[in-house]
Amino acid sequence: MKKNLPLLSFLLLSLAGANAQEMTTTTTVETTETVPYDRWSIELNGGVNKPTRTMSSGYYTETLNFFHADLGVRYMFNPKFGLKLDFGYDKFQEHDDSAPFESTYLRTSLQGVVNLGRVLNFETWTNTFGLLAHGGFGVSQLTAQDGGFDGEDYMGNGILGLTGQIKLSNSIVLTGDLTGIVNGKQNNNFDGRSSVNTGAFDGVLLNASVGFTFYLGGAEKHADWYSEDKSKELKELEERVGLIETGLVDSDKDGVPDMYDLEPNSIAGVAVNTKGQSIDRNQNGVPDELESYLDKTYGQNGKGATNGTIEELINGGYVNVYFDFNSTKPTNASLSGVDFLVKYMKANPSKSASIIGYADEIGDSNYNKDLSQRRADAVKAVVTSAGIDASRLTVIGNGEDASVNKNSKEARQIVRRVTFQVK
């Protein structure tokens, strides 16, 4: 241990510099292309010290003794873990009632750093306060003045501390640090007036300091404060899950989920194909099964009865146009309901229709009333663009449909609709 402290410091610094150079070389592409945060920082602190062991009989310092200072250079491998090279200076002097003495203590250490703020997810409740833990090993030098021991006392040290952080800006942080140092093979007491006789781990020194950390680099944030924003991903995932849940609803109970159903408002009880479409081979807008029933019931020429039955189906709420949450745009799959109405009104030019809009119970009632009106207006625009004269159409906004459980997503999907009444 009786080596020159500057030489040991130089060796530690060289080692740290070589490691940093290697890390810089191997992570150049990552830093410039994929890592949106800075890694390097400089730490400057000043404060007080307290040697708790060992002091010669009759020699002691103030409870909080000035002067302490330290300088550190830190590199973060990622937002949670890093490494720093630290240099410290402490001066010890007598208290008023102590025998006079003066000594200085120099140290250097290589320390690992853990960003407890990121480990403990501080970002979930603050972007201003942080906490670092640091610890490692190094070498120290004790020198005595005015009648103390001759030369220098070299020793090894172990160091452990906590650093609180208050972010002042993206470049500067106010810090407060508490650090404990244990020396090994310390030959002289901190006052320098007598030899140590306590054992292998002799000197114990406490430091309390405040200071500043300066971040180096051009990124918006340093690794100390960087955390991946998962809110967008979670929102997108929630939306995808919601779409799947909604898509698995079978609104018309035809056995085909809405996400695969090209006609999610098909008439109840009517046979459909694998895509949920009512089977209509002659493409007249009336499902073959319904036509067959009408033929059997009313005969081949029962057009009046057929029209009446179709009118009953429309007025019974079997023909609907559906909407997504807070939307006035009809879902593509439900536009077949508009087509059903258009075909009926073209076949019956004397008929008129009321277009009635609804909303679910989520949100303000007045807003939902307006939303239901706008949905009905949107469907009217589609109907008129298909060739039906606007004078044959009446638009009604009925507001909220409270007939279903508003806590059910599936139920709310069903009542976000426009229905029809023909006469």
pLDDT in tens, 396-413: 999 999 888 888 888 888
Predicted confidence at residue 118, as pLDDT, reads 93
| Residues 5-225, CATH architecture | Beta Barrel (2.40)
What value does the mean pLDDT of the chain take? 83
Predicted confidence at residue 117, as pLDDT, reads 95
Q: How far apart are CA 162 and CA 343, in angstroms?
A: 77
Predicted confidence at residue 229, as pLDDT, reads 66
Percent of the chain with pLDDT over 70: 76
Q: Which of the four pLDDT bands, split at 50, 70 and 90, describes residue 168?
A: very high
Q: How far apart are CA 101 and CA 62, in angstroms?
A: 13
Per mean pLDDT, which range of 212-221, 289-298, 361-370 is the poorest? 289-298
Which amino acid is present at 120? L
Q: How far apart are CA 49 and CA 275, in angstroms?
A: 79
Specify whether the CB–CB gap between 103 and 145 falls below 8 A.
yes
Burial class of residue 344 in the structure, from the number of CB atoms within 10 Å of its CB (0-12 exposed, 13-18 middle, 19+ buried):
buried
Higher pLDDT, 103 or 281: 103
pLDDT (average), residues 324-350: 85
Predicted confidence at residue 26, as pLDDT, reads 44
Predicted confidence at residue 160, as pLDDT, reads 98
Residues 6+ apart with CB under 8 A from 378: 328, 329, 330, 418
pLDDT digits (tens, 9 = 90+) for 66-89: 899 999 999 999 999 999 999 999
Q: How far apart are CA 313 and CA 311, in angstroms?
A: 5
Residues 6+ apart with CB under 8 A from 395: 354, 355, 357, 373, 376, 377, 380
Q: How far apart are CA 406 and CA 48, in angstroms?
A: 64
**C-alpha 363: how far from chain center:** 26
Query: Per DSSP, what are the bridge partners of residue 177?
Result: 163, 209
pTM above 0.85, yes or no: no
Predicted confidence at residue 110, as pLDDT, reads 98
pLDDT at 267 over 60: no
pLDDT digits (tens, 9 = 90+) for 247-259: 677 766 677 777 6
Determine phi and psi for 340, rounding to 5 degrees: -60, -45
Pairing mode, if any, of strands 393-400 and 353-359? parallel
Q: Which of the four pLDDT bands, split at 50, 70 and 90, describes residue 10?
A: very low
Helix (H, G, I), strand (E, B) or coil at 72: strand
CB atoms within 10 A of CB 357: 29
- In CATH, what number does 231-422 get? 3.30.1330.60
Residues 6+ apart with CB under 8 A from 141: 5, 105, 106, 107, 152, 153, 154, 155
- Kindly calculate the radius of gyration of the chain based on its CA atoms and give it in whole angstroms: 40
Domain 5-225 identical in fold to domain 231-422: no
Helix (H, G, I), strand (E, B) or coil at 64: coil
pLDDT digits (tens, 9 = 90+) for 16-44: 444 444 444 444 444 444 678 999 999 99
Hunting for tokens 């070389």 — which residue is that? 25
Predicted confidence at residue 249, as pLDDT, reads 72
Predicted confidence at residue 49, as pLDDT, reads 96
∠ at Cα 175 (171, 179), nearest 5°?
140
Domain spans, the chain: 5-225, 231-422
Q: Which of the four pLDDT bands, split at 50, 70 and 90, describes residue 228?
A: confident
Six-digit token string for 176: 């407060």
Predicted confidence at residue 287, as pLDDT, reads 63
Predicted confidence at residue 239, as pLDDT, reads 79
Q: Which of the four pLDDT bands, split at 50, 70 and 90, describes residue 205?
A: very high
